[in-house]
Structure 1
Amino acid sequence: MTLPDGYYSKNDRKVCKLVKSLYGLKQAPRKWNEKLTDVLVGVGFVQSQCDHSLYILNKDYVFIALLVYVDDIVITGNNVTEIGRIKGLLSKSFQIKDLGVLKYFLGLEVVYDKSGICLNQRKYCLDLLSKFGYLGCKPVNTSIELSHVVNNKISGEQKDLVDITSYQKLIGKLTYLSLTRPDICYAVQFLSQYMHKPCVSHLKVALRLLRYLKLCPGKGLSFKKGDNFELTCFADLDWGKCLNTRKSITGYCVFLGHDLISWKSKKQSTVSRSSGEAEYRAMCSATCELVWVVNLLSELGVNCKVPIRLYCDSSAAISIAANPVFHERTKHFELDLYFLR
């Protein structure tokens, strides 16, 4: 921080001591989070160990959950009077503005109906299309072309992209859009691998993804009311999908009842020598996510039914799991196998 001219003489050796952390300094986010945490804990909230931005108040048949993103807060619960009291206590420590019922939050739109709610990013998607000039483009039916077509295009157009910043901004916006669009998760994962050195062919694949978004910009996730708290997970992989590194692609999705709550498409960190090994690595990634989801739901007071069903379609993985005897060819992934068991 540089003091203005005339505030002190050049020969003066004194320094300024900050009374409070100024907005924009490196330590400002940490100080803000410490202050907010102290106030919420003093009110009676407990900070979640699975998600440190989640605060839970659960006592005397009163349940309130408070979710924080920097200085934006979403609060919900089963007692309207208690929620109002919490807002009043927060207003004494901070200058807050009550925006009413949640309808729009950080690009997420919440649509209510009798059966439940729907989360989408329609406005965010339309703004993205408008920014890149694709608001009036002709839509396509798939987010990415067949793998062999994409590989041929990328191998044929290896000219480096001149404007890397625009490509990085586009992929960053698409990554945020995938919060409510599982259908573009794989395409975004594929494009994000070339953030530092993209080619012209990668930009064309990304722009084709914008044409797919034009097909239905309001598509999102639906969460319906119900008393089914059974977790179900589906895990799969594409063995040796990446032609440059021959690493496999892991994919899984987790359902709570009939509602999709978590999903991922990610390239594995190691090269698998067999499809069974790669399948076990994918299932272990899904298992880690299931452990986190179960712990988070237990903090929210939701008891999930156990055991949890984890589905896979690999006969090799099922055969190895059924056989308790290890062999020499399975030694290199015994840790994943033990963890999964």
Structure 2
Amino acid sequence: MITNGYKQSQGDHTLFIKHSAFGGVTVLIVYVDDIIVTGNDEVEKKTLKWCLAKEFEIKGLGKLKYFLGIEVARSRQGIFISQQKYVMDLLKETGMIASKPVRTPIEQNHKLSEAHEETAVDREMYQRLVGKLIYLTHTRPDISYSVSVISQFMHDPRAVHLQAVYRVLHYLKAHLGKGILFKKGPEIDLAVYIDADFAGSAVDRRSTSGYCTFLGGNLISWRSKKQSVVARSSAKAEFRAMAAGVCELLWVKIILEDLRIQWSKPMKLYCDNKSAISIAHNPMQHDRTKHIEIDRHFIKEKLESGLICTPYVPTGFQLADVMTKGLCSNMFHESVVKLGMEDLYSLA
């Protein structure tokens, strides 16, 4: 029943997509022994559940409400996902339930480095705690950058790094119910905001790339990651971030096509660096771009085919800023709201 469909595996996760002869789609998501069945073909879903029950001992729990620590709630506005219970358990485990809240998860213009002169801390404890925060970023893009930073010191954590971890917990205490709200929209637009913080790492001067992908105005994927090589200019750092954003758009497009959602319009790649946009469109700048030649040809190919377009977005409207640097309180919370994050208690 699933063999004629589409399958994708990543780690312990497996995704099956089955197409029916009448245009219906059934999706089966498997993580070890936890399963989600969804789709728009009710007959196929019932058949699939019957086949699973015939082969395995399973228990149906009705509409999705809780899956691997992720809570799902429905309101008049849309579908809301969060990890409030997971955050509460984490704060209790670390003794931070009564901690003083802070407004941002990381200091603005922080200079976290290896800090060998600082006191060493329990590495196993540090790695376990950061690992739990990494899992929390599945529904909390607001802490993605800070978690990306503190995870870079898991090999030799020091007291200053542990203090940065505790700051994230203090921030979570202030925003327990935050999550992502998926709203219904009249149109399905696919766009990604990309940004790079040039030479932001105090350890090796590598830049940090970040992107936020939106489908129909809803945030569906995001990432904050230090680049693998040192960029020699801000334009080159942004260009590498653009290549990562294009890859994400193409991956989402493939998933949409497997779900039988056809996409004909150019996908939008929003960038606030005019030099990077110029390099993407201008094939005559070879001498200035030889260090990023593969990325340049890759992006130029997608531009010429009409798959993507690269509109300029002013820095003040760059939503990916929150993925690449520590921001002041006002800018940070403005960005978080624009990402579509809401507080569970604010939804009616």
Residue matched to 1:13: none
Select 1:259's aligned residue among 192, 197, 218.
Answer: 218
Q: What pairs up with 1:100-115 in 2 under 5 angstroms?
A: 100-115=62-77
What is the CA-CA distance between 1:329 and the residue it aligns to? 2.6
Q: Secondary structure at the match of 2:229?
A: coil
Amino acid paired to 2:87: C
- Residues 102-131 of structure 1 show CA distances to partners (whole Å, capped at 9, x for unaligned) of 101100000011232000000001000010
Q: Secondary structure at the match of 1:237?
A: strand
Residue matched to 1:58: 19
Residue matched to 2:109: 147
Amino acid paired to 1:115: Q
Q: Secondary structure at the match of 1:48?
A: strand
Contact residue 276 and residue 316 of structure 1 kept, 8 A: yes
Q: Distance in 2 between matches of 1:201 and 1:191?
A: 10
Q: Distance in 2 between matches of 1:220 and 1:77?
A: 23
Amino acid paired to 1:78: N
Residue matched to 2:81: 119
What is the CA-CA distance between 1:294 and the residue it aligns to? 0.6
What is the CA-CA distance between 1:80 and the residue it aligns to? 3.4
Q: Secondary structure at the match of 1:269?
A: coil
Residue matched to 1:134: 96
Q: Secondary structure at the match of 2:291?
A: helix
Q: Distance in 2 between matches of 1:62 and 1:314?
A: 42
Contact residue 115 and residue 158 of structure 2 kept, 8 A: no
Gaps of 5+ in 2: 301-348
Q: Distance in 2 between matches of 1:192 and 1:268?
A: 14
Gaps of 5+ in 1: 1-38
- Residues 241-293 of structure 1 show CA distances to partners (whole Å, capped at 9, x for unaligned) of 01211100001111001100011000000011111111110100111111111
Select 2:198's aligned residue among 239, 245, 268.
Answer: 239
Select 2:52's aligned residue among 78, 90, 97.
Answer: 90
TM-score of the pair, normalised by structure 2: 0.81
Residue matched to 1:77: 39
What is the CA-CA distance between 1:50 and the residue it aligns to? 7.6
Amino acid paired to 2:169: L
309-318 or 52-61, larger mean C-alpha shift: 52-61
Q: What pairs up with 1:5-44 in 2 under 5 angstroms?
A: 40-41=2-3
What is the CA-CA distance between 1:337 and the residue it aligns to? 0.8
Q: Distance in 1 between matches of 2:116 and 2:124?
A: 23
Could you say what the CA RMSD is over the residues aligned between the two structures, in angstroms? 1.9
279-288 or 70-79, larger mean C-alpha shift: 70-79
- Residues 183-232 of structure 1 show CA distances to partners (whole Å, capped at 9, x for unaligned) of 00000000111111100110011011100000111101111123422101
Contact residue 246 and residue 271 of structure 1 kept, 8 A: yes
Q: Distance in 2 between matches of 1:192 and 1:305?
A: 39
Is residue 284 of structure 2 the alignment partner of residue 284 of structure 1? no
241-250 or 303-312, larger mean C-alpha shift: 303-312
- Residues 66-105 of structure 1 show CA distances to partners (whole Å, capped at 9, x for unaligned) of 1111111100122434322221111111111111111011
Is residue 225 of structure 2 the alignment partner of residue 225 of structure 1? no
73-82 or 189-198, larger mean C-alpha shift: 73-82
Select 2:118's aligned residue among 143, 147, 158.
Answer: 158
- Residues 153-173 of structure 1 show CA distances to partners (whole Å, capped at 9, x for unaligned) of x74962211x11111111000
Q: Distance in 2 between matches of 1:220 and 1:185?
A: 13
Contact residue 6 and residue 258 of structure 2 kept, 8 A: no
Q: Secondary structure at the match of 1:53?
A: strand
Q: Distance in 2 between matches of 1:304 and 1:226?
A: 16
Q: Distance in 1 between matches of 2:62 and 2:207?
A: 46
Is residue 309 of structure 2 the alignment partner of residue 309 of structure 1? no
Q: Distance in 2 between matches of 1:58 and 1:256?
A: 22
Amino acid paired to 2:135: Y
Amino acid paired to 1:114: R
Q: Secondary structure at the match of 2:188?
A: coil
Q: Secondary structure at the match of 2:228?
A: coil
Q: Distance in 2 between matches of 1:49 and 1:101?
A: 24
Is residue 252 of structure 2 the alignment partner of residue 293 of structure 1? yes
Contact residue 50 and residue 292 of structure 1 kept, 8 A: no
Taking every aligned residue pair, what percent have the same amino acid on both sides?
47
Contact residue 2 and residue 17 of structure 2 kept, 8 A: no
Residue matched to 1:35: none
